[in-house]
Amino acid sequence: MFDVLTLTMEGTPPAQPVGQLPHLDWQWLAEGVLELSPRQPCTRAVVLSAGIHGNETAPIELLNQLVADLLAGTRPLRVRLLVVMGNPPSMRANKRFVQADMNRMFGGRHARFPPSDETVRAQQLEHLLAQFFRSATASGATQRYHYDLHTAIRGSLHLRFGLLPFQPRPHSPEMLRWLESAGLEALVYHRSPGGTFSHFSSEVFQADSCTLELGKALPFGGNDLGQFSQIKRALEALVSDVPAAERQGEPMKHYQVVQDILREQQDFELHIPADALNFTAYPQGYMLAEQSGKTYRVEHTEEVVLFPNPNVGLGLRAGLMLVLKS
């Protein structure tokens, strides 16, 4: 049977775009995009994506192994499943992106960027998700889930954490239980809409969606996948539609975003050290960043920083500040 990661890295589709195995049907929809359908009726439609940033290799390898097990028949498939290797050119280049950050482009925001392979790909993935969820619903799979797997640019005080997109409806208790079982150390609640892949599926298709951050970005072959054994088991349970194992370790910490630091001027300066870890705490009054006409300071007794990056494009987020949810 074929290997999804190998085909994606080589830029070659399978010899045939569709196929049948004794236990499932599969269809190669586009470069790095594979749909798997069980033979029996099911109620869940699941999207698992990785490689939206091409150098975030650990989740790509995890997802590829899961698909290999499904194709080999060693792992039963009991959901409609769409597997997405997000940004093949940046995967091949081992770069976060080639022209621009694709995880800022979803929900039609690709139109705000100069045309590139990434704007075309973001638009293609939007269409493929719409097609998948529409087809799944027609077949009776009405429960929608999307987990977008990433790794962080810098190290983190929480090695594995999730980011829930802003949505006006409550987050699914079932999804929150699954995230607990996946061994995440922390969960971050966004306070405003964004251009991420998981926000797109939540907003447009009302999917239960979450971005999962799994360790630090390393080259292919350099990951210790043993660090992610709980998420691996949780993904296996998800696609086989069986209860996930009980959580091991301390309960998740829940954080709320309270500030979005935006780089809006050319003279923007971020006062977070380059070696600061994600979730590093700063005291009230600390100056986080400054630019013409605006400064950012810690407003609460203590706030922790997430994704500080002074090198983003103008108008984009250069960091988030969080507090523990009460």
Of residues 81 and 293, which shows the higher confidence score?
81
Catalytically annotated residues = 213
pLDDT (0 to 100) of residue 326: 77
80 and 176 assigned to the same domain: yes
Domain containing 280 equals 258-324
29 and 177 assigned to the same domain: yes
Q: Is 23 labeled as ligand-binding? A: no
- DSSP 8-state secondary structure symbol assigned to residue 293: T
197 and 290 assigned to the same domain: no
Q: Is 127 labeled as ligand-binding? A: no
Residue 82 lies in a domain: yes
Which structure tokens are listed for 171?
Answer: 């987050």
Would you tell me how many other CB atoms lie within 10 Å of the CB of residue 239? Answer: 23
Predicted structure pTM score: 0.94
Q: Across all residues in the chain, what is the average pLDDT?
A: 94
Whole-number Å distance between alpha carbons of 176 and 95:
31
Query: What angle (nearest 5°) sits at the alpha carbon of residue 210, between those of residues 207 and 215?
Result: 155
Whole-number Å distance between alpha carbons of 241 and 253:
26
232 and 271 assigned to the same domain: no
Domain of residue 231, CATH code: 3.40.630.10
186 and 223 assigned to the same domain: yes
Bridge partners of 216? Answer: 152
Which structure tokens are listed for 274?
Answer: 């380059």
Percentage of residues of the chain with pLDDT beyond 70: 98
> CA end-to-end span of the chain, whole Å?
50
197 and 158 assigned to the same domain: yes
Residue (of 67, 210, 213, 59) closest to 146 by Cα position: 210
**Alpha helices (runs of H) in 73-196, residue ranges in sequence order:** 88-93, 117-138, 173-181
Which structure tokens are listed for 137?
Answer: 């619903």
Identify the band that residue 218 occupies on the pLDDT scale cut at 50, 70 and 90: low
Q: Does residue 26 surpass a pLDDT of 70?
A: yes
Q: Is 254 labeled as ligand-binding? A: no
Q: Does residue 258 surpass a pLDDT of 80?
A: yes
Number of domains in the chain: 2
